[in-house]
Structure 1
């Protein structure tokens, strides 16, 4: 049994990861700013292997790392729309605070450190396949922050401290802290509401995708893999690459709803490239289990059964903008 710290534990991926780690009989120290509330972690409060710390990672005390064996770093602003609201704050959190967590972890004797970034980052010609060695895009605050963080973390990896980067695809599927600003989840939502689905880009825009429960499984696979297979390495993490046109077609077919859709200009630049995710499987044996169509269907069924719903908080950038508009919360002032 390992004691594992999860930052961003109350988030879309974090709450699913906490559940998975507890089911695998690990001890979990969950750390979160709780900007969206702590409700995703409430089912675990009575679990003796679960501990919750309400804490901004920018101010996390060194003593918190005592007895921690592994760190899963999921904290940070999750996309370009959020980062563009305040580029300076984005760097403060997504680069400096996350790098600080790794430095403290290393100094306190933590052996393994896993950090998530994005594999929607490659600057490769349309129709080509990108792997972990391909050139990266630097045109956005979010992407530059990811690259700066990766460079910082990989520089800390030693024989005693294993730092591993997982570049995730666009994540989909059910979570207690649901997000409907993710493309596949948004497709299920618009089919449920019989609303026109406006995709942010062209039909040829292509993204890698990964189910949220597969992300949790992959993180644990990286934590328990032999050090020589994962230490100081970057891996793409996805199950399949699909164009926006394919997503719409899949949603119409799988969900049984005639999708009304169009494509619109976006502040985010989506690539038209496929992404290779074979390296992680080769080094860890990990194989994704849940396809995009299965994930969309589970979200669609949950919406129909009123087990989840869309609101302001399920679109992260909209939630941040609402905080800024209200202007009364400390968190809102930090975002402006």
Structure 2
């Protein structure tokens, strides 16, 4: 697969995937709205063999798909609270934008389309161990958009256009576009900066975990796999050994960041609770994670100690989106004839 188009390629997963693809000699094209700036890809652009296009998946340029061998579709309003800020925008980006991108890819003769879905589509798992055939019980708008997008993409599948959905577990670990709104990442930040972790809802909710680099490796495995193994398939991406209750995650972080207090808060508005089985991706593709949660916690702690990352507003997706929406409203109010001054 010499040429890969990554939508959302300047994001948390995309920036890691772009780097790994370039290391293997691929040509990479990135389509990204660049809400969080171009910095995550700045060092890669100096190396060459990467093109970064500022654009929107709801209206991508058809020329971008010329000569592309695989599309990795990561672009999305990317978590539950961010989707809730503006449900209409979330629907148009996560569903309409996905379908528009896929249709243009298919029309251009791109043979493979790999969609970033989420284990959150399983929602409230009712104590079951969930595999790819388990019922989908999404409890959030974000998860519902992923379910709808998967279903609509399946309608485009044919002998010339392979569609694969990767249902990622909850990501953790370092990325050039760092996120501190993911459970391991934010808890590690709070442990390091505040020596305190808050655990909501008694911490009995199950979360499947996977390192961001392992997610990137999973996409690369699908790209290189024989078509008959991945066409029309969905794969849970994670490890059955990395399902943990939230309280256990907090305890692991306390092991790495000493003198951290864990405070349990009774209620939790997040009703997701799912214990996921990941046997299929290892059985079919031979893929399994290389990183553990402890490794992820340690690397984040070390990056904080060295000043390589911090908890600025741009690392908190929903806070930053809210800031942008509020700034847009202010500019609209004070602008005159298209200018502020």
In the alignment, is the contact (CA less than 8 A) between 2:195 and 2:260 conserved in 1? no
Aligned CA-pair RMSD: 1.5
Is 1:305 the counterpart of 2:306? The answer is: yes
> 2: CA distance between counterparts of 1:320 and 1:199?
24
Query: Residues 170-194 of structure 1: CA distance to partner in whole angstroms, max 9, x if unpaired?
Result: 1000001100100001121011113
Secondary structure in structure 2 of the residue aligned to 1:113: strand
- Unmatched 5+ stretches in structure 2: 333-341
SS at match of 2:209: strand
Q: CA deviation at 1:324?
A: 2.2
Contact 2:6 2:72 (8 Å CA) reproduced: yes
Q: Which residue of 2 aligns with 1:6?
A: 6
Classify 1:144/1:329 alpha carbon distance in 2 versus 1 (closer, same or farther; 3 Å).
farther
CA distance, structure 1, for counterparts of residue 326 and residue 266 of structure 2: 25
Q: Give SS of 2:219's match.
A: helix
Distance 1:210 1:329, change over 3 A: farther
Look up the match of 1:253: 255
Quote the offset at 1:318 in angstroms: 0.7
Contact 1:323 1:329 in 2 (8 A): no
Deviations 1:79-134 (A, max 9, x none): 11011111111010000011110111011000111111110222565432011111
TM-score normalised by the chain length of structure 1: 0.94
**C-alpha distance in structure 2 between counterparts of 1:329 and 1:109, whole Å:** 42
CA gap of 1:162–1:200, structure 2 versus 1, over 3 A, is farther
User: Quick check: 1:263 aligned with 2:265?
Assistant: yes
1:266-277 to structure 2, matched below 5 A, reads: 266-271=268-273, 273-277=274-278
C-alpha distance in 2 between matches for 1:124 and 1:32: 32
The verdict on how the C-alpha distance between 1:159 and 1:34 changes in structure 2, with shifts beyond 3 A counting, is same
Partner of 2:324: 323
Partner of 1:202, secondary structure, is helix
TM-score by length of 2: 0.93
Q: Superposed, which structure 2 residues align to 1:1-336 within 5 Å?
A: 2-123=2-123, 125-239=125-239, 240-263=242-265, 265-271=267-273, 273-326=274-327, 327-328=329-330
1:201/1:270 contact within 8 Å kept: no
Q: CA deviation at 1:47?
A: 2.4
Give distance in 1, aligned partners of 2:266 and 2:314.
Answer: 23
Using the TM superposition, give the Cα deviation of residue 56 of structure 1 relative to its aligned residue in structure 2, in angstroms: 1.2
Give the Cα separation in 1 of the matches to 2:164 and 2:131: 16
Take 2:2 and 2:330, find their aligned partners in 1: how far apart are those partners?
A: 41
SS of equivalent residue, structure 2 residue 163: strand
Matched residue SS, 1:97: helix
How far apart in 2 are the matches of 1:78 and 1:35? Answer: 12
